[in-house]
Structure 1
Amino acid sequence: MEPNDSSRVDSEFRYTLFPIVYSIIFVLGVISNGYVLWVFARLYPSKKLNEIKIFMVNLTMADLLFLISLPLWIIYYYNEGNWILPKFLCNLAGCLFFINTYCSVAFLGVITYNRFQAVTRPIKTAQATTRRRGISLSLVIWVAIVAAASYFLILDSTNTRLNRAGSSNITRCFEHYEKGSLPVLVIHIFIVLSFFLVFLIILFCNLVIIRTLLTQPVQQPCNAEVKRRALWMVCTVLAVFIICFVPHHMVQLPWTLAELGYQSSNFHQAINDAHQITLCLLSTNCVLDPIIYCFLTKKSHRRRAETLF
């Protein structure tokens, strides 16, 4: 398949949409994730953190890393897609975006698997030394994803083009692919297929958890409350994936093909518009992730809070 000579397209609504959405996400995300991190630091001694809480702390840290880069993107889109900051900050912003996206996917995945084991093999899970495994898995996830993201730090991330009026040049940040680049296409295919493989595993595990919880008899009122919170947590994890991650990865490959020149200009504009919306949805995971914490530790937090006040 040969690339077409498709002209560059732009979705001008993003210059209004992104500054507003990112500003809201930044404020809500810093408050909610900062609170979660404070609770873990204040109420849970590090040696008392079990596996799932270790994963939650790491998920929160990944969200905060992305949130600190949001002001850079707000400035970029406020200036109508003109990167006026030093070039290395563009590389850093792209790197943190990648780290947040795939650390979030990974930690939500291991949180789901932890709950899957707790429901399907409760005795073995209770006997396991899960804290050490939680630390080891977290370290592996960070090393693997940061290593992959380090490519963004050395990439030629900016390119120059005329502004909308055609009167002067502007600098774009991560908005240029060389037409027909096969390595870029292969990388995106690998990322998208890997994501959907992980998503299918998570979907299967969560459906098993839901079925098991719904078929278990409830003997005491406290058990009913635990089951209710467990079901809400599972549903929240699925909601985060379906709202934030799935739309972006459904659009990512067709958008990449269009950017590389393998699709018609008319399709390119439509898929580019959709791509901007999915980027907004993807960023909302920083606000939705802390909701998982509420269902994860609500009872324990209330009990510990009573000892403080």
Structure 2
Amino acid sequence: MNSTDYNSVFTKQVLPPLYIVVFVLGLCLNVVAAWIFFRVPADSALVVYLKNMVVADLLMLFSFPFRLASYLGFKSQYLDAIMCRYTAVLFYFSMYVGILFIGFISLERYVKIVCLSPSSSTTPSSRRRFSAASALHLFQSATFARALAVLTWGFLFLCSAPNCILTNSLSKNQNYTICMDLKTVLGKEWHQASSHVCVTLFWVTLLIVTFSYTSIARQVCKTYRRMRRDTSDICRKSNRSIISILAVFFICFVPYHACRVPFTLSQKNTSIFSRETSFWLFQIKEGSLFLAGMNVCLDPVIYFLMCGTFRKSLLRKLSRRERRRSLTTAQSLSNI
């Protein structure tokens, strides 16, 4: 099997323009998000987590041009070496960093709204709940969030770095089909083990996200109904935030993780999987990988809906720009 056996109309003609659109749109959105966020002080755990998500998205965007060049057929020994050793690893590394930070955000919101809400602490066992609340407050501190961020980046780096190191140079294997063909024996074992670890992290995070936001939605609606106020606007805003998080997971990440394990097994056990099966698993994997890459465009929606500071800063800057444009137009008309 040569390197062209996995090519198809889908990978050569459909995916490239889609990646171009996502790259341009994601770059614009995340540059604006970074420009706003890094003017905002990281005085809460939520802001710390969101800033780290912006960094992860920008790193993922850096890998897009190399993936696009591969789809368009720009083959060279050096380009393949860069892709297999670095940019492909960078893509997965940044994706799982972003996934874990979404999980941390979900837990932070759950602790704040469900565990530390006044209605959940004024019960007969209030003394016990107060002692638990004092411990839960730690999870909301910016210092704890920074320490958790460092551990997250460090752990995933240790999982990803061997995939760069345990890859042979192209000169040792000219008849390669995919990046797995360039790995050492230990590299293939490490790739499979790290894949299982990352997939497990995703499914655990998905359970956390689903549980957290289901509990939050129930708590918000129950609390405001109890207060007998018109809560339609509050519940609607809460539901928008919940739907945005769940949409990112179910649209972007679930399809890829549903097919990742069988695809990884097909790479390692070529004698068990037929050529046709491997071909179709590759096509499905590439399509679901594109959906995973779409999170660079959807994450800014999460920032806007969940972070009031980000939303106010963006709207304020847009209003200033609109006023400046109006003044410029008025001055131009007055000079006619």
TM-score by length of 1: 0.81
Structure 2 residue aligned with 1:10: 6
Structure 1 residue aligned with 2:72: 78
Q: 1:254 to 1:82 in 2, by over 3 A?
A: farther
Structure 2 residue aligned with 1:25: 22
C-alpha displacement of 1:229: 2.3
Q: Which runs of 5+ in 1 are unaligned?
A: 1-5, 163-168
Q: 1:187 to 1:136 in 2, by over 3 A?
A: closer
Q: 2:110 aligns with which of 91, 116, 120?
A: 116
How many angstroms apart in 1 are the aligned matches of 2:22 and 2:64?
9
C-alpha displacement of 1:193: 2.8
Structure 1 residue aligned with 2:162: 151
Structure 2 residue aligned with 1:165: none
CA contact (8 A) 1:240 1:289 kept: yes
How many angstroms apart in 2 are the aligned matches of 1:102 and 1:173?
22
C-alpha displacement of 1:152: 3.0
CA contact (8 A) 2:169 2:182 kept: no
How many angstroms apart in 2 are the aligned matches of 1:250 and 1:130?
35
CA contact (8 A) 1:233 1:296 kept: yes
One-letter amino acid matched to 2:255: P
C-alpha displacement of 1:127: 5.7
**Matches for 1:1-309 after TM superposition, within 5 Å:** 9-12=5-8, 13-42=10-39, 44-46=40-42, 49-79=43-73, 85=79, 87-88=81-82, 90-123=84-117, 124=133, 130-156=141-167, 174-176=179-181, 184-218=191-225, 224-260=232-268, 261=270, 262-298=272-308, 301-302=311-312, 306=316, 309=320
CA contact (8 A) 2:2 2:176 kept: no
CA contact (8 A) 1:90 1:157 kept: no
How many angstroms apart in 2 are the aligned matches of 1:110 and 1:288?
18
Deviations 1:57-86 (A, max 9, x none): 100110001112211221121116656537
- For structure 1, which segment, 227-236 or 130-139, has the greater mean C-alpha deviation from structure 2 after superposition? 227-236
Question: 3-state SS of the aligned residue for 1:98?
Answer: helix
Q: 1:16 to 1:303 in 2, by over 3 A?
A: closer
CA contact (8 A) 2:160 2:194 kept: no
C-alpha displacement of 1:281: 0.6
CA contact (8 A) 2:166 2:183 kept: no
Q: Which has the larger radius of gyration?
A: 2
Higher RCO structure, 1 or 2 (CA under 8 Å, sep 6+): 1
How many angstroms apart in 2 are the aligned matches of 1:130 and 1:271?
44
Deviations 1:207-257 (A, max 9, x none): 222222233325556x65444222211211111111111111110111122
Question: 3-state SS of the aligned residue for 2:181?
Answer: coil
One-letter amino acid matched to 2:243: C
How many angstroms apart in 1 are the aligned matches of 2:192 and 2:83?
25
How many angstroms apart in 1 are the aligned matches of 2:191 and 2:91?
18
Q: Which runs of 5+ in 2 are unaligned?
A: 118-132, 321-336
CA contact (8 A) 2:167 2:183 kept: no
One-letter amino acid matched to 1:95: V
Q: 1:83 to 1:296 in 2, by over 3 A?
A: farther
Q: How many pairs were matched up?
A: 294
How many angstroms apart in 2 are the aligned matches of 1:25 and 1:211?
35
CA contact (8 A) 1:158 1:171 kept: no
- For structure 1, which segment, 238-247 or 293-302, has the greater mean C-alpha deviation from structure 2 after superposition? 293-302
Q: 1:288 to 1:157 in 2, by over 3 A?
A: farther
User: More helix per residue: 1 or 2?
Assistant: 2
